[in-house]
Chain A
Amino acid sequence: MAHNIPKTPLLDELEKGKWPSFVREIKDAAKKSPMSADLLGQLERSYREKIGHWKHGGIVGVMGYGGGVIGRYSDLPEEFPNISAFHTMRINQPAGWYYTSQALRQICDIWEVHGSGLTNLHGSTGDLILLGTTTDNLEPIFSKLNAIDFDIGGSGSDMRTPSCCCGMSRCEWACYDTMAACHDFTMSFQDEMHRPAFPYKFKFKFSGCPNDCVASIARADMSVIGTWRDSIQMDQNAVREYAAKGMDINGDVVNNCPAKCMSWDGKELKIANEYCRRCMHCINAMPKALRPGKDRGATILIGSKAPIVEGALLSSVLIPFVKMEPPYTEIKEVVAKIWDLWSDEGKNRERIGEFIQRMGLGNFLEEIGIEPIPEMVSAPRDNPYVFYEEYFEEGDETEEEEEK
Chain B
Amino acid sequence: MADAVVQRRTDYGPPHYSKFLPPIIKENYGKWKYHEIVRPGVMVHVSESGAQLFTVRASSGRLISIGKIRKYADLADKYCGGYLRFTSRHNIEFLLSKKENVDPLVKELEAMGHPVGGIGNAISAIVHTQGWVHCHSAATDASGVVKCVMDDLIEYFTETKLPGKLRIALACCLNMCGAVHCSDIAILGIHRRPPRVDHTRVVKMCEIPNVSASCPTAAIRPVTVDGHPSVEVLEERCMYCANCYTVCPAMPLNDPLNDGVSIWVGGKVSNARHEPMFSKLAIPFLPNNPPRWPEVTDAVRNLVEVWAKNARKYERMGEWIERIGWPKFFKMTGLEFRKEHIDDFKHAGLTYKRSTHLTF
- Produce 1/0 per residue, A33-60, CB < 8 A to B: 0001001000100110111111111000
Whether the Cβ atoms of A52 and B254 lie closer than 8 Å is: yes
| Given A93-B14, A256-B314, A100 and B135 contact (CB-CB distance below 8 Å) | no
A210 to chain B, nearest CB (A): 4
Q: Given A19-B115, A52-B138, A94-B17, do A191 and B64 touch, yes or no (CB 8 Å)?
A: no
Taking a contact as CB atoms under 8 Å apart, the answer to whether B113 and A102 are in contact is no
> A residues within 8 A CB of B34?
172, 287-288, 291
Check if A261 is an interface residue, CB within 8 A of chain B. no
Q: Do A10 and B65 contact each other (CB < 8 Å), given the known contacts A101-B73, A218-B276, A308-B175?
A: no
> What's the nearest-Cβ distance from chain A to residue B117, in Å?
11
A50: contacting residue among B5, B88, B272, B288, CB under 8 A:
B288
Task: List 8 extra interface pairs beyond A169-B21, A210-B271, CB under 8 A.
Answer: A22-B63, A22-B143, A46-B132, A94-B20, A103-B15, A112-B66, A117-B67, A120-B90
Known A50-B290, A306-B179, A314-B278; contact A256-B92, beta-carbon cutoff 8 A: no
Q: Is there contact, CB below 8 Å, between A21 and B87?
A: no
Say yes or no: B88 contacts A94, CB within 8 Å: no
Chain A residues at the B interface, C-beta cutoff of 8 Å = 10-11, 13-14, 16-26, 28-29, 36, 39, 43, 46-47, 49-57, 63-65, 72, 86, 88, 92-105, 107-108, 111-112, 117-124, 126, 131-132, 146, 149-151, 163, 165-166, 168-172, 174, 177, 179, 183, 186-187, 190-191, 194, 210-215, 217-219, 225, 251-252, 256-258, 277-281, 284-285, 287-288, 291, 306-312, 314, 347-349
The verdict on A174 contacting B30 (CB below 8 Å), with A100-B20, A146-B9, A285-B314 known, is yes
With a cutoff of 8 Å between Cβ atoms, the chain A residues found around residue B16 in the complex are 94, 183
Binds A, one of B76-84, B225-233, B325-333: B76-84
Residues of A contacting B134 in the complex (Cβ-Cβ under 8 angstroms): 54, 72, 86, 88, 131-132
Instruction: Write out the residue numbers on chain B whose beta carbons fall within 8 Å of the beta carbon of A309.
Output: 214, 216, 241, 243
CB < 8 Å neighbour of A97 from B13, B82, B85: B85
Q: Is B127 an interface residue (CB 8 A)?
A: yes
Q: Are B20 and A103 in contact (CB under 8 A)?
A: yes
Given contacts A19-B151, A279-B272, A314-B278, contact A13 B210 (CB under 8 A): no
Shortest distance between the CB of A318 and any CB in chain B (Å): 16
- Residues from chain B with Cβ under 8 Å of A310 in the complex: 216, 346
A124 contacts B259, C-beta separation under 8 Å: no
B273 at the interface (CB under 8 A from A): yes
Q: Which residue of B lies closest to A211 (CB)?
A: B270
Assess whether B177 is interfacial by the CB under 8 Å rule: yes
Interface pair A53/B132, CB less than 8 Å apart: yes
Q: Which of A21, A170, A285, A310 has the most CB of B within 10 A?
A: A170
The contact of B214 among A172, A212, A349, by CB within 8 Å, is A349
Query: Do residues A348 and B213 form an inter-chain contact, with CB atoms below 8 A?
Result: yes
Q: Which residue of B lies closest to A203 (CB)?
A: B179
Binding site for A on B (CB under 8 A): 5, 8-17, 19-21, 25, 29-30, 32-36, 45, 53, 55, 59-70, 72-74, 76-77, 82-88, 90, 92, 95, 113-115, 127, 129-138, 141, 143-144, 146-148, 150-151, 154, 171, 174-179, 181-182, 205, 210, 213-214, 216, 241, 243, 246-247, 249, 254-257, 259, 269-276, 278, 288, 290-292, 313-314, 345-346
Q: How far is the CA of A70 from the CA of B246 in the complex (A)?
A: 13
Asked, given contacts A63-B8, A187-B13, whether A218 binds B181 with beta carbons under 8 Å apart, the answer is: yes
Instruction: From known contacts A121-B92, A151-B11, infer whether A210 and B272 are also in contact, taking CB-CB under 8 Å.
Output: yes
Q: Residues of B contacting A187 with CB < 8 Å? A: 13
- CB closest chain-A residue, reference B241: A308
Q: List 5 A-B contacts (CB under 8 A).
A: A99-B20, A105-B69, A121-B69, A191-B11, A212-B270
